[in-house]
């Protein structure tokens, strides 16, 4: 397995959405001493979001340089009063591509990643936004998602990434020097980016490379799953070559239109030996992949054209057999205990001709809308 551009000497810890992730996020913020970057798609002004905002204010007031960037569309619900209070506390705050958009060329380009990094030493990266639905506030079932806590050499590169986006230096990323004492563990870790408009296709390329070279097993957990023809062809080829290919999707969707478009692909996948599992406990929002119990990637990147061609995405890719095997085993338990496997016969029975037509229309409309957004966004490379 290729190990190019992976940083050695890192410790990685898998985190689950809900109390576990938000306890760790608060801990990272509360123990920061010099520098903290938080960049996230959704920061809601609800109970969970307010708790995180108050911790960020406290960090700034004790002398930590705090930088917070949120997406202009995803975090549009933040009130003017809340934003003013954030800035008054000493936090450096701004929106990425503010809403309403100054031009059509900003309409599709979104800051979709979820990163918190402190003191060049500890970072959280995953798919978890900051809102009650991700924390499981008030005894509700949290949306199903994952993140990774990284400690070690890679954290300096994560800081550099956040700084480059904050300073709008999308192409050139300053690398920070790190002393040997930053070594924390044995995991090989790489920060992979997707920002097609800035010629960054690392996540998409890495996905295709790892899926093509899989020897025995592929497990994917995907929200908003509408893969490109090329990626779907790679998965089908792997299944035909007797690799075990399992995909965990959501049964309860927050975007029914996208769910219908995804379901349109079930027929082709099931016919070609790909196993499909629908998570039934809550909305599935995770974006992860484990290959051969050796390599895995976790982050914000969805397997669809929006993530591949428009959004700014970040994943953490890990080469660590012990970590990957443990994660693969956990996902197998999720499939067994918290999912419903969709068989070909069941899939055909549970849809009328009108439902199948609706799925086809949804699939086509999603594809056309992304194509149009991509067309009007590609010229905007100066923001």
Q: Compute the distance between CA of residue 286 and CA of residue 19 in angstroms, rounded to an integer.
A: 16
* Residue-level pLDDT at 358: 79
How many angstroms separate the CA atoms of 381 and 143, rounded?
Answer: 34
| pLDDT tens, residue order, the chain (383 aa) | 445 689 998 999 999 999 999 999 999 999 999 999 999 999 999 999 999 999 999 999 999 999 999 999 999 999 999 999 999 999 999 999 887 655 545 556 789 999 999 999 999 999 999 999 999 988 789 999 999 999 999 999 999 999 999 998 755 555 444 444 456 678 999 999 998 777 788 999 999 999 999 999 999 999 999 998 899 999 999 999 999 999 999 999 888 888 888 988 999 999 999 999 999 999 999 999 999 999 999 999 999 888 888 889 999 999 999 999 999 999 999 999 999 999 987 777 777 777 777 777 787 777 766 666 555 555 444 44
pLDDT at 177: 45
Q: Give the strand pairing for 275-283 and 244-252.
A: parallel
What Rg, from alpha-carbon coordinates, does the chain have? 20
Whether 7-190 shares its CATH topology with 201-376 is answered yes
Q: What is the pLDDT of residue 140?
A: 85
pTM, entire model: 0.90
The class that CATH gives domain 7-190 is alpha beta
What are the residues whose beta carbons fall under 8 Å from the beta carbon of 142, sequence distance 6 or more? 17, 18, 133, 134, 135, 136, 282
CATH homologous superfamily of 201-376 = Endonuclease Chain A (3.30.870.10)
How high is the pLDDT of residue 331? Answer: 98
Which of 360, 210, 361 is CA-nearest to residue 292?
Answer: 210
Domain boundaries, the chain: 7-190, 201-376
3-state percent breakdown (helix, strand, coil) of the chain, nearest 5: 40, 30, 30
Q: How many CB atoms lie within 10 A of CB 290?
A: 28
> At 227, phi and psi to the nearest 5?
-70, 160
């Amino acid at each position: 397995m290729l190990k190019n551009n992976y940083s050695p000497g890192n410790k990685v810890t898998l985190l689950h959405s809900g109390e576990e992730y938000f306890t760790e996020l608060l801990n990272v913020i509360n123990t920061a001493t010099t520098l903290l970057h938080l960049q996230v798609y959704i920061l809601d002004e609800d109970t969970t979001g307010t708790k995180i905002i108050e911790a960020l204010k406290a960090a700034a007031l004790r002398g930590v340089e705090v930088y917070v960037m949120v997406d202009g569309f995803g975090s549009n619900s933040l009130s003017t009063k809340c934003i003013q209070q954030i800035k008054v506390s000493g936090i450096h705050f701004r929106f990425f591509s503010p809403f309403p958009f100054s031009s059509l060329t900003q309409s599709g380009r979104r800051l979709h990643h979820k990163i918190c990094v402190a003191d060049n030493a500890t970072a959280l990266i995953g798919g978890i936004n900051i809102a009650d639905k991700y924390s499981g506030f008030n005894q509700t079932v949290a949306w199903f998602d994952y993140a990774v806590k990284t400690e070690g050499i890679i954290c300096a590169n994560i800081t550099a990434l956040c700084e480059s986006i904050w300073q709008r230096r999308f192409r050139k990323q300053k690398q920070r020097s790190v002393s040997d004492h930053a070594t924390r563990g044995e995991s090989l870790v790489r920060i992979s980016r997707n920002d097609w408009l800035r010629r960054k296709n690392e996540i998409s390329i890495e996905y295709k490379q790892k899926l093509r070279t899989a020897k025995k097993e592929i497990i994917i957990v995907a929200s908003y799953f509408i893969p490109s023809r090329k990626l779907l062809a790679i998965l089908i080829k792997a299944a035909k070559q007797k690799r075990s290919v399992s995909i965990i999707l959501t049964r309860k969707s927050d975007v029914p239109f996208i769910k219908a478009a995804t379901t349109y692909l079930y027929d082709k996948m099931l016919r070609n030996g790909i196993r499909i599992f629908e998570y039934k406990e809550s909305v599935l929002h995770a974006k992860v992949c484990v290959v051969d119990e050796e390599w895995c990637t976790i982050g914000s990147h969805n397997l669809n054209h929006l993530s591949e061609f428009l959004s700014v995405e970040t994943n953490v890719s890990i080469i660590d057999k012990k970590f990957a095997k443990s994660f693969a085993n956990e996902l197998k338990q999720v499939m067994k205990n918290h999912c419903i496997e969709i068989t070909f016969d069941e899939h055909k029975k549970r849809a009328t001709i009108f439902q199948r037509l609706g799925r086809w229309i949804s699939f086509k409309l999603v594809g056309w809308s992304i194509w149009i957004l991509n067309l009007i966004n590609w010229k905007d490379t100066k923001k």
